[in-house]
Amino acid sequence: MLTTLKPLHCATTLKTIALRRLEKVNFYKLRKKSLIYNYTSKRLFANAAVANNYLDINGFAYSIDSWTNVTPKILSYLGLNKHLQTNHPLSIIKQRIVNYFYKTYKTSRGNPLFSVYDKLNPVVTIQQNFDNLLIPVDHVSRSKTDCYYVNQRYLLRAHTTAHQVDLISSGLDNFLVVGDVYRRDEIDSTHYPVFHQLDAVRLVTKDKLFERNPGLEIFERDWSPNLYNSNQNQVLTSSKCMDQTKQSCHTLEAIKLIEHELKGVLAGLAKDLFGANIKHRWVDTYFPFTQPSWELEIFYKEQWLEVLGCGIMRHEILQQSGAHNSIGYAFGLGLERLAMILFDIPDIRLFWSKDTGFLTQFNEKDLYNLTKYKAVSQYPQCINDLSFWLPPGVQVNEGFAPNDFYDLVRNVAGDVVEQISLIDQFNHLKKNRTSVCFRITYRHMERTLTQKEANDVHKLIAEACVETFKVEIR
């Protein structure tokens, strides 16, 4: 349980108490300060309580350390909640999925069985985002180049799955979680550092699963449960060679029955979204938190497209959540991916547009008559290349991470950057230096961007690179 303390107006007192209680999961309110990017000094990080080594996020103070890499640009997205914005394409897709589960699963009284949680705090702990889900300590998804860290203990959630254990521990067994998630990524028409996910969990006990066959069991008779050890050093799940047929604790009958329900429900969801005649297939895959695991693909416009990942929940997760006697499934999907397909939206940046020419095209009054997006206008591109020498001894992914460069560009240029490509790199052996060249495509989503405007932004990016990465512009 997260504890919120009353505001502390003395910076020294706040710092002292925070350091003393660093090991506890507590938040401290702080007076609001500016999170606006300081273009003059070309600083990448928030200008919030820096003097006291604190970062103010939504009124809560977090200590800054060597792991802090969240930027003001990214923080500006918190609270926008596009999935809750009436008539927004993401809200429409979310409501379609929620309605499908409402009508698919009902209580004995005819009420929806699933509950929906779409306003959960996107700032989570390392334990919530990784440890609770058995994601190994050496997994690439924990890297600073993949996630936005507030500090070594907190980050902006990389998936809504981060809330699973908390919700199950509170006694829930059928729920949907919807929200914004944050991942450091490349810049192009299908990738954005902030997007929206929908996760679902369904748990059942023996009485429900084998209602018609009470003699069958969920767990193997010779299986002895070993309660989940929260010490991450004991969680050795990095191997993808786990038996994807079933977990050792489960009987084959239990796995086949829950798999049948899972695949039937999700195939039904695909038909609800894409039409009754949509072709689909299941692809075996690996996730640390489910076993066995699958991806659902649909055949759409002459190609196979992955639309979601799913699987049987690892029993260790259920054990640590207090659901020792249950078995269940979970799945997760990206709302932007589905919306881009169903509305024919060509650029993921459009979901953040404030242009009424975009927003007025969609309406929630008829969720099952989706309007295809019509481009208001196709504004021209401006393309500039940026080449620079990295500092001596520094190479790409060895001291210089492209995702760091992408974040810098986002902070300086915002969404006028449509795409960035690393088009050239070479190592000069005598100089022990590496040269890189990025091609930056500029295009404004709502008006024509002049070449002069693009050049001015390009110059700011170059200056910020020199200041931040100590590079030499070529």
Place of tokens 């009754």: 276
pLDDT bucket at 344, cuts 50 / 70 / 90: very high
pLDDT value of residue 362: 94
Axis crossing angle, helix 89-104 with helix 252-274, rounded to the nearest 10: 130
pLDDT value of residue 52: 60
pLDDT bucket at 314, cuts 50 / 70 / 90: very high
| Domain edges within the chain | 72-218+244-352, 377-473
pLDDT value of residue 447: 85
Chain mean position to CA 85: 19
pLDDT bucket at 379, cuts 50 / 70 / 90: confident
**What would the mean pLDDT of 208-216 be, rounded to a whole number?**
93
Percent of the chain with pLDDT over 90: 71
The 303-313 sheet, strands edge to edge:
115-117, 174-182, 194-205, 326-334, 303-313, 290-300, 279-287
Residue 242 pLDDT > 90: no
Task: Note the pLDDT tens digit of each residue in 254-288.
Answer: 999 999 999 999 999 999 999 999 999 999 999 99
Fold of the CATH domain 72-218+244-352 = BirA Bifunctional Protein; domain 2 (3.30.930)
Task: Note the pLDDT tens digit of each residue in 440-451.
Answer: 999 888 888 999
| This model's pTM is above 0.85 | no
pLDDT bucket at 417, cuts 50 / 70 / 90: very high
CATH architecture of 377-473: 2-Layer Sandwich (3.30)
Chain mean position to CA 39: 28
pLDDT value of residue 75: 94
What span, in angstroms and rounded, lies between the C-alpha atoms of 148 and 68?
A: 8
Lowest mean pLDDT among 237-241, 275-279, 369-373: 237-241
Angle at 351 between CA 347 and CA 357, to 5 degrees: 90
Residue 1 pLDDT > 90: no
What span, in angstroms and rounded, lies between the C-alpha atoms of 168 and 166?
A: 6
| Average pLDDT in the chain | 86
> 67 or 34, which is more confident?
67
> 289 or 380, which is more confident?
289
Task: Note the pLDDT tens digit of each residue in 99-157.
Answer: 999 999 999 999 999 999 999 999 999 999 999 999 999 999 999 999 999 999 999 99
pLDDT bucket at 232, cuts 50 / 70 / 90: very low
C-beta atoms surrounding 6 within 10 Å: 7
What span, in angstroms and rounded, lies between the C-alpha atoms of 329 and 33?
A: 43
pLDDT bucket at 187, cuts 50 / 70 / 90: confident
